[in-house]
Structure formats: structure tokens, C-alpha cells
Chains A and B, each alone.
Chain A
Amino acid sequence: MSAATTTTPEELEPRPNRARAASLWILDRPLIMLGVILVLLLIACQIASPGYMSAERIGTILQFSAPLAFLAAGQTLVMLTAGIDLSVAATATAAAYIMAGQASRGTATALGIAILVGLIVGLINGVGIGVFRVNPLIMTLGMASIVSGYLTVSAQSFVTGVPLVPDFVRELAVGNLIGAAIPKSLLLWAPVAALILLGLRYSGYGRTLYAVGDNPVACRLAGVRVWQVLLVTYILCSVLAAIGGVLYVGVVNAADLQLVSPYLLPSVAAVVIGGTSIFGGIGGYSGTILGAIILVVLDSLLTLLNASQAFKQILYGFIILALAWLYATSTKRV
């Protein structure tokens, strides 16, 4: 139990002021650090496989990042309120599966149904957490097993006609613009990302989100209807998850009942890597975007290195831990 010695003394000897100021400046801007990590990863990829970097490659990376970034977008909003949503993968899978099953009714209807799935799950989560004050972990955990259980039971009844991924969805997920460097999914991702980034910064809802995450009691006393904020946030999270699921089924081009489940933990990891505190009130979507891209590039680097699935997982875990540690120490010092 060597870990008993925890109170590592703060660095007592004063460092040169300029160096300290510089390190503080960087630690205060996690985006720069994440950008450096991303560039280092890309350089490592280039070394591992010369000719790795190309316009097409950037397109592929973005294309695989988009579904994860949508799942992680919802997760970011929820984590800003000091919550967590463990039902995003189940919701995304349900939305994607039902959309593929209903594709024969026309693409627009199928997409509408997918969004509806997100709305319903989010509404139930939001009511449970906002109104009945159920712990988010428990509520969304329960909801995940309800959604995926119900989907498995009624898988057949959700399918009318031949299940298929609509061409529109397929094109949106894997299609490219301008010489393959820009995936079409960016046409959807970029506006949504801009909306989230600006909304968090400038809208009343965005500011309230941070306030609720920082101190829900003070918010309640200040007259904020906390339950409404939570309700809206969990609905947004599930709808974003549903969109992520639709994009993912477009990338994979086949729907099954476990489609998005491997993305559940990465959706949390992307947010944590991106510097959003799990205790709420600190962070934002810009970090999450970089976090999602880093996870995708890391995955591709480990594939390039011919790493076994097992080794990949181990390294993945340690990198998440190391980044989270970096944030923990940096926020303590600032």
C-alpha cells in the first residue's frame, strides 16, 4: 500500500517566472495541448506507414470521427450538468436499427422516426433525472437496458419491408466533397458543432447549463428551473445520439442489435480527454471534437502498428488515464 503517501507536496522551489507563466498559459488552454497530441499522433502514423497523410486520409478520419463526435456531443452537454448518459449507445443503436427497418416508408419518414426514438428516450431520461431526481448513472443505465432489451424483443416488428440503409444516409456518412478531403457528414457535423459551441457560449440555455453543473443549489435559489434545464439537456443528448447512430449505420452499411455498443465508453472517453469535468461546470464541445478525432487517429495508429486487439485496449486505457491525470494536476495548479 505504497499509495498511502498521497499528499505529494506541491513543488516548493520557485521556478523561473516566465517558464511557469508559459506552462500555466498552455495548461489553461487544453485545446493547444490536444492539438499538439493530435499532431504528434499523426506524425507517428506517418512514420509507422510512410504516405499515411493524404487528403483522402483526412477525409476518412473525419468520416469515422463524425458519429463518435455526435454521441460525445450529447455526452458533453450532460456532463456539463455533472451528469452522465450511459444510454447513448442503446439509443443510437435503436434509432439506427429502426430507421433501417422503416426505410421502405421513405427516407424522410425513416429519419423522422429515428429522431423520434431519440426524443422519447431523452424525455424519459430527463423526467427521471430532472423531476424524480434519480441519479443519472442509474437512470441512464436502467434506460439503456430497457431500450436495448425492448429493441431485441421487438426487433421483428420494427422492420417493415426490406431493411436497408437509405442511399441518402449512406451518401451522407461516406460520401465526399472536393477531392475526397471533406466528407459529406461534415455538412451536418459542422453546423451542429457551431450551434453547440456558440449556444454554450452565448445563449441563456448554454450559460445556465454551466451554472447548473457548477452549483445546482445556488441555481435553484437564484430562480433557475433546474428540472427544465436537465429535461432539455437529456432530450438533446438522446437526439444527438440518435443522429450519431444514423451516421454510424451509414458508415457500416448494415444495422444490427449491437451496432453502436462498442462506442459507449469511447463517447465518455472523448469528453474526458477533451477536458470536460465529470463533476460538471467546466469544459466545452471544442475539446470533445478533438478528443473524438484523437481517439479515431489513435485507433488507426494502433492498427497500423499491427497491434493486437488486446494491446490496443491496454494502450487506449492508459492514454485516457494519462490525459485525465494531466487535467487533474493542471486544474489543481491553476
Chain B
Amino acid sequence: MTTVDEASTTVGRRGFDARRVAIRHGWTIGVYVLLVLLVIGYAWALAPVAFTSFDLGSIVIGALPLVFAAMAQSVIVISGGIDLSLGVMVAVINVIAASLMEHQSFATSLLIAFGLMVVGVVIGAINGGLVVLTGVPDIVVTLAMSFVWGGVALVIMRTPGGGAPNAFQSLGTGTFISAWIPSGAVIIALVLAAAWLPLRWRRPGFAIFAIGSNRDRAYLSGVNVAQTRVMAYAIGGFFAAMGGLAATATTGIGTPYAGNFITLNSVAAVVLGGVSLAGGKGGVVGPVAAALCLTLVPSIMVFQGIDPNYGQVIQGALIVVVVMIGGLLLLRERS
């Protein structure tokens, strides 16, 4: 790892290099530009009514569970895997939280929330452990586990219900300091800063990127591949738990069925966010914006008086076209 540290310090000395930033982060910047355009489109769609801090808040509230699911999926995809049970994991945490937190004090619900983050890590580690242990492709294991976790969610709660204290809900739906800063956005930033960034630029993060890029070479370079794969799924489990808690906080109830929608959209957000499905490339910051974009499209449709189901059509087309463009860019780069 010392060579990497040296390399990064020499890069630091070179100062700001616009071209390098554009090449390395062009895709992420593009997604954020798209997000800004969509927010402007959202404001424009509201037209006679002014765009207020409330609208900004509702955008974040609507997207919060998907944002965390997208973060989870990106860590797993970067490590070379994919988790098709992610949405169901979000639902599991969501229903546990809603059934435990009902009629509890704020302090107790926070304790429950911390406990559920651990549960999320354990669930993720089980998925990752099974992938490593069985040697079955990730997509098949997590597909099978999506049935299992979906069943678990139904065992805990058969029909939507439960609840959460108001103070806990305001963690997801309130604002922070200024009315223009939704607390959901603050939590996203905090989770990124506290849970992902410390790992990203240290041994675990490098190991995750390394096994995603080339598993054999990573192994030959001394990376414990099996352990790192399980770790990637466990980190994903943590983010999925955050997604489940966010769903509890933003909706105030637990819903055992919400799973598959989130799974598929998390994959879409990851791809739109610039993570390569082959692994080893991308980041977590891009998919966050992509998840926001994906939830903005249908809401803009609603305000335009267009059938929101066209939003689904446009979401699908957006994903396909973006990946096509990405593929063409990659081809041009190579030639």
C-alpha cells in the first residue's frame, strides 16, 4: 500500500489538473449536472407555484430509501458482485423498525436504530458469506436470498403497519439549521463521511476496488479476497439498514412488500451513477445523485399532468440510453 500512498502524494503536489478531474470524475459531474437540470425542470413544472424549501425537502424525502439502497448496491457492484436481495433487506429492516419503534420514546427508537444497523451488517454478511461459501454466482445466491428475506419480512409483519415516534420521523423529514437544508440530505452526507470515506481511502476500500477490478491479481497482491467480498456485502447491508430506517422515518410505517422496486432501481441508479457492472470502477457519490434523478422523473411527470407511468417508461429509456452512450464512449476511448 505504500506505493499507492506515494502516488497519491505526488498527484497532490501537481496541483489542480482540470483535464484529469474531467476524465476521472466526468461521469459523476455529468450525473450531478443532470440532477440540477431535473431540479430546475421540477421547479419549472410547478410553474405558477414557487419552488419552496418544502419542495426541496419532499424531493429528498421521496428518494431517501433509494439513495441508501443505491449506495449499498454500488459498494457491492464495485467489489464485483451484485445483490438482488437489497430491496428486500431494506423492507426487512423497515418492518422490524416499524414494529419495534411503535409507541416508544425517541431515545429508545435511536437505540433500536443502532441495533438494526448491526442487524443490517449481519444480514449483508450472511449474503456475502453464502456467496463465498457456495461458490454460486452472486446473482443466483442473492436471487434465492431475496425469497428468504422477503419471507422473513412477511413473518415479521403481514400487512403494512407499525409506527415510529414523531421525533424519529423528523430525522428523515425535517430540516437542519436552515429550512433549505433537509435533514435527509444531512444524514446522507453524514453516512457518506462517517461510514464510507474512512474506508474508501484505506486498506479495506482499496481491497474492494482491487477484487472488483481483477480478483486473481488482487489475490496475488495479498488481498484476502473472500474476506473482502464478505466485507463489501456487509457494508452494503449497513447501507441497506440505513435505507430501511429511512423508509421507516419518511413513511412512518413498515411495508413488507416494497422490496423489488428498490432492488431494480438500485441497480439502475448504480449504472446511471457511473459504476461499472463489471466491478472495480466508480464510486458511491455518483449513484446518490442518480437515485435522486430516478425519483425526480416521475414527480416531474405528475406536475406536468402527464401520466406518472410515463415516468417508468422514461426511467427505463434513460438507463438504457445512458449505458449505450457509456459503452460508445468506452469504445472510442479504446480505439
Contacts and interface: CB of A to CB of B under 8 A. Distances in A.
A18 interface: no
Interface string A267-304: 01100100000110000000000000000000000000
Interface stretch (B13-21, B66-74, B125-133): B125-133
Contacts of B148: 313-314, 317-318, 321
B139 A318 contact: no
B134 A325 contact: yes
A324 B226 contact: no
Contacts of B267: 137-138, 141
Q: Which of A133, A317, A328 has the most CB of B within 10 A?
A: A317
A202 interface: no
A6 B134 contact: no
Contacts of A168: none
Given A135-B277, A153-B310, A324-B134, A146 B317 contact: yes
Contacts of B96: none
Interface string A294-332: 000000000000001111111111101100110111001
Nearest to B129: A3
Contact of B152 (A2, A128, A310): A310
Interface stretch (B23-31, B207-215, B318-326): B318-326
Nearest to B153: A310
A321 B138 CA distance: 11
A149 B313 contact: yes
Interface in B68-126: 82, 125
Contacts of B155: 308, 310-311, 314
B92 to A, nearest CB: 11
Interface in A1-34: 1-7
B320 A142 contact: yes
A138 B151 contact: no
Contacts of A203: none
B147 A317 contact: yes
User: Which of the listed residues B140, B226, B227, B307 has the most CB atoms from chain A within 10 Å of its own CB?
Assistant: B140
B140 A272 contact: yes
Contacts of B130: 321
Interface string A138-173: 110111111011101100000000000000000000
B151 A153 contact: no
A223 to B, nearest CB: 21
B151 A134 contact: no
Contacts of A278: 137, 139-140
Interface string B305-334: 001011111111111100110011000000
A108 interface: no
B145 interface: yes
Interface of B: 82, 125, 128-130, 132-137, 139-141, 143-155, 158, 224, 226-227, 230-231, 234, 264, 267-268, 271, 277, 307, 309-320, 323-324, 327-328
A145 B313 contact: yes
A139 B134 contact: no
Contact of A313 (B150, B310, B323): B150
A6 B315 CA distance: 40
Contact of A134 (B139, B141, B143, B324): B324
B40 to A, nearest CB: 24
B226 A314 contact: no
Contact of A145 (B128, B139, B149, B312): B312
A47 interface: no
A279 B137 contact: yes
Contacts of A142: 268, 315-320, 323
B312 to A, nearest CB: 3
B134 A3 contact: no
Given A3-B132, A310-B152, A317 B230 contact: no
Q: Give the most central of B136, B150, B267, B324: most A CB within 10 Å.
A: B136
21 contacts: A1-B231, A7-B226, A135-B271, A137-B267, A138-B277, A141-B268, A144-B316, A145-B319, A148-B312, A149-B309, A150-B313, A268-B143, A269-B144, A278-B140, A310-B153, A313-B151, A314-B147, A317-B144, A317-B148, A317-B151, A329-B135
A153 B136 CA distance: 39
Contact of B323 (A134, A152, A329, A332): A134
A86 B316 CA distance: 12
Contact of A310 (B151, B264, B268, B315): B151
Given A143-B316, A146-B316, A321-B130, A6 B226 contact: yes
Given A1-B230, A6-B226, A137-B277, A265 B315 contact: no
A225 to B, nearest CB: 18
A84 interface: yes
Nearest to A264: B260
Nearest to B270: A138
Contact of B136 (A1, A265, A324): A324
Pairs A-B, 8 closest by C-beta atoms: A149-B312, A317-B147, A3-B129, A313-B151, A310-B154, A314-B151, A145-B316, A317-B148
Given A84-B139, A132-B324, A143-B320, A312 B144 contact: no
A311 B151 CA distance: 6
B291 to A, nearest CB: 15
Which of A148, A320, A321, A328 gathers most chain B CB within 10 Å? Answer: A321
Nearest to A87: B316
B154 A313 contact: yes
Given A3-B230, A143-B320, A148-B312, 9 more contacts: A145-B315, A265-B146, A265-B147, A310-B153, A315-B151, A320-B147, A321-B141, A325-B135, A327-B136
B66 to A, nearest CB: 14
A321 B136 contact: yes
Interface core residue of A128, A139, A142, A309 (most chain B CB under 10 Å): A142
A6 B320 CA distance: 37
Contacts of A310: 151-155, 158
Interface string A224-255: 00000000000000000000000000000000
B319 A141 contact: yes
